[in-house]
Amino acid sequence: MTEYNRVRDNLKTLTIDAVSTTQIFDASKVIYLSKEAIPDAKTLIDVTEFYRGVHAITYGNTIPNTGVQVEGLSDGDGIEPALNEVYAILGVALGNTGGGPIEVSVKLGDLPLIVTAVPPGGTTTSSELGAIFPIMLSKGNALKFEVVTGTGSDLNAIVQYNKTVQ
């Protein structure tokens, strides 16, 4: 508690320009601005409102030239956006390169979205998986593939996605 109070007291005496992100995270609780910081905070609010006015309109739209196709995903593989990225998963194809049938679970993290059979030498596409696309992913949400029955190395999943404005 003493450390929190010391950090909080230090932050209350600084202007907003002098406060670093690390100091705010170190406090890990609500920070109340001092009188010295209030004019800076009002300026920051004005800048934030201006930014929202310009950029909020594009939120969720595709960023041009960011389409990606990831191939060769197998049992246990997946994709997850990096920090400050959002992916719009447009489609998935599940291929079976083996001689026996496989059953594949497409998951959002550990949550199964759909479990489907893929015949030997066959492919199951997004249209056969149902109306679950597009799926929006951000850091902490991974699209994963798990072979429930059959040989895991027989799975060859392909994912098509775009990055979006956040």
Which residue ranges make up each domain of the chain?
2-58, 68-163
Which class is domain 68-163? mainly beta
Q: ω before 39 within 30° of 0 (cis)? A: no
Question: 91, 54, 56: which is closest to 166 by C-alpha?
Answer: 56
From first to last of the 166 residues of the chain, give the pLDDT tens digit.
Answer: 456 566 666 656 666 666 666 666 665 566 565 666 566 666 777 777 776 666 666 667 888 889 999 999 999 999 999 988 899 999 999 999 999 999 999 999 999 999 999 999 999 988 777 778 889 999 999 999 999 999 999 999 999 999 988 7
Q: How many CB atoms lie within 10 A of CB 100?
A: 11
